[in-house]
Amino acid sequence: MTLMKFQNIMSNEIAKRVFVTRPPEPPANILIGDPLKSVYIGTTKMFKVPFTWTYANLTNPHIAIVGITGSGKSYFVKTFLVRANYVWGTSAVIVDWAGEYKAWVKQSGGTIVSLGKGAYINIMDLSGMKPLDRVKQIMNSFELLTDISDFPEQKRLTEEAIEQAYTNMGFNVSEKPLAGKEAPTLKDVITLFQEKLQDGTYEYPAELENAIYRLRQFAREGEDYFARKSTIDLGQLASSGLVDIDLSGLPDERFRALAALFILQTLKEKMRFEGWSESKGLKTIVVLDEAWKVASDNRSDAITIVREGRKYQFGLIVASQNPTDINEAIFSNVGTTFILRIKFEKFINYIQGSLNFSDFIRSEITKFGVGQAAVEMAFQTAIRFPETFILEKIYGEEPLSVYNIELNGVLTQAEIAANIISREYQFETNEFKNILIEYKFSAEDINAIIGEFDQKSRNVGIIDLLVLFRQFGMNSNDMVRFLKGLGIDDSLISRIITRVGKNG
């Protein structure tokens, strides 16, 4: 406890000193890149410098994005992918957990692969890998997704049977396969188990039965998404422009995680084969949005990819609303972290613990509006400027609708002149809707309120707004809570409430 307090004071002190003796943002030559070799993101808060992202000076091209729901993570990803494609011709594979990128990918002319709705992946496909390496990866995925590690004998049996299935199909397990040679499936592995069970020579039939049972979960008729001949070529998809792998049609989280793990494993291998060419920027970006299981586990290739660094020109973007779902190894190894709005103490503690930004940045993060972000970059060489800075806004491809609440009508001339009280409050559409949801308005009421607001060019006085709220059932306690939430002081609140009472 004492130690924590001590550190707290220290970082406050340091933050202050840095602020005085050094500029609070990296110098312009670091922030502004060649537009033909970097991706425009937005303008910095302090000096309004246009920030363009490149990984030229960074430890690697990988990016982590954190922020509460609605803070703008997916919006950033879309903006980034479009521009990276424009600048470098970068292809992207989106591992789309909830199917939320589908509409956008479709609209952008990309490819959509819907697993669980007609598209299949054979997790035994080799993509040029030695069968033994693939066996290890498959076992890795099973360990991550099932309880097989608790049963060493079943684990041994499964590993052995998968290897045997490759041998039976004519593969040499320790050699790279000939191109085009068809891989066995999990169904072949189950058949091998059943034969062993039937010939009766194995001494622990119960172990065998349990191993069969576990594998069958992924090979059952109708749920054999990963136990059939593949209908897609992932290696090819990795260089096919914008590709959305929609996992929302799979029955549960385990299936989605298995797909995501397989995609990462395969793409990692492809990158290793292809090596790298210095000439071009990023070849492929893989996006993991809200894929918590895959981003949090030590055994996931998300971590291998981040650790292996920059040499493959293969970028990984990991986005999550819950930073503790992103493995610490990812945070401490990615070249860039975008921190959007975060509310919960424990989440901020976790990130601040991994990234060590100042308490000034910390307090800003809790106040961010939609699309505002702190950016933390890990440079390759020792530097003499702050590695974390604040972006006024991520400038994206979609227009932002801002709702403006004005206080002018309730302020006295003296208050306006003194300029100590905020005269207006701005909210982005979704942010405003989220606030309305907090006050238990129904979906219809919210749309009606937004509709009224839209008619006034998204500009209303505080009194009119509260009168409108009252028409939709808000009581005066909630009005006070709403005004407090805006940060308005008590005397002004009572003045406003009185005015609302007199109105109608």
Can you give the binding site for ligand ADP, defined by CB under 6 A?
67, 69-75, 370-371, 393-394, 396, 398, 400, 428, 430
As a whole number of angstroms, the distance between CA 301 and CA 49 comes to 36
173, amino acid identity = V
The closest of 94, 89, 58 to 78, measured between CA atoms, is: 94
- Of 367, 335, 337, nearest to 353 by C-alpha is 337
Q: How near is the Cβ of 40 to ligand ADP at its closest, in Å?
A: 13
From the CB of 98, what's the least distance to Mg ion, in Å?
8
240 binds, among Mg ion, ligand ADP, none (CB under 5 to 8 A by kind): none
Least distance in Å: CB of 30 to ligand ADP?
Answer: 22
Closer residue to ligand ADP, CB minimum distance, 33 or 42? 42
Please state, as a whole number, how many other Cβ atoms lie within 10 Å of the Cβ of residue 363.
10
| Partner whose binding site includes residue 386, from ligand ADP, Mg ion, none (CB under 5 to 8 Å by kind) | none
Partner whose binding site includes residue 322, from ligand ADP, Mg ion, none (CB under 5 to 8 Å by kind) = none
Pick between residue 369 and residue 461 the one whose CB is nearest to Mg ion: 369
Nearer to ligand ADP, 24 or 396 (CB): 396
Nearest approach, Cβ of 370 to ligand ADP (angstroms)?
Answer: 5
Extract the tokens encoding 196: 């062993």
Q: Nearest Cα to 276, choosing from 265, 288, 284? A: 284
Q: Residue 189 and residue 186: Cα distance in Å, rounded?
A: 5
Q: Is 96 helix (H, G, I), strand (E, B) or coil?
A: strand
In the three-class reduction of DSSP (H, G, I as helix; E, B as strand; rest coil), residue 453 is classed as helix
CA 268 to chain centre: 19
- CB nearest Mg ion: which residue? 74
Which 3 state secondary structure label does DSSP give 157?
helix
Provide the minimum distance between the beta carbon of 102 and ligand ADP in the complex, in angstroms, as a whole number. Answer: 13
In the complex, least distance from residue 204 CB atom to Mg ion, rounded to whole angstroms = 47
Of 96 and 364, which has the nearer Cβ to Mg ion?
96
Which residue in 156, 121, 132, 125 sits closest to 142, CA to CA?
156
The number of helix segments (H) and strand segments (E) in the chain equals 21, 14
- Of 109 and 399, the one with the shorter C-beta distance to ligand ADP is 399
Partner whose binding site includes residue 370, from Mg ion, ligand ADP, none (CB under 5 to 8 Å by kind):
ligand ADP
Q: Which does 134 bind (CB under 5 to 8 A by kind): Mg ion, ligand ADP, none?
A: none
Among ligand ADP, Mg ion, none, partner that 393 touches (CB below 5 to 8 angstroms by kind): ligand ADP
Give whichever of 8 and 69 is closer to ligand ADP, judged by the CB atom: 69
Q: Report strand pairing: 111-114 vs 373-377.
A: unpaired
Alpha-carbon distance 101 to 274, whole Å?
28
Sign of CA dihedral 486, 492, 493, 496: negative
- The residue of the chain with the least Cβ separation from ligand ADP equals 371
Q: In the beta sheet, which residues pair with residue 388?
A: 376
Comparison of 73 and 362: residue with beta carbon closer to Mg ion: 73
Least Å from the CB of residue 294 to Mg ion = 16
Shortest Cβ distance from residue 74 to Mg ion (Å)? 3
Among 234, 256, 245, residue whose Cα is nearest residue 114: 245
Considering the complex, state which of residue 74 and residue 158 has its C-beta at the smaller distance from Mg ion: 74
Nearer to ligand ADP, 289 or 301 (CB): 289
Binding partner of 177, given ligand ADP, Mg ion, none, CB within 5-8 angstroms per partner class: none
Closest distance between ligand ADP and the C-beta of residue 254, in Å? 24
By the criterion CB under 5 A, which residues form the site for Mg ion?
73-74
Q: Which does 124 bind (CB under 5 to 8 A by kind): Mg ion, ligand ADP, none?
A: none
Q: How far is CA 119 from CA 176, 225, 230, 233, in A?
A: 26, 8, 8, 11
DSSP assignment, residue 22? S
**396 interacts with, out of ligand ADP, Mg ion, none, CB within 5 to 8 A per kind:** ligand ADP
**Distance of alpha carbon 324 from alpha carbon 300, whole angstroms:** 15
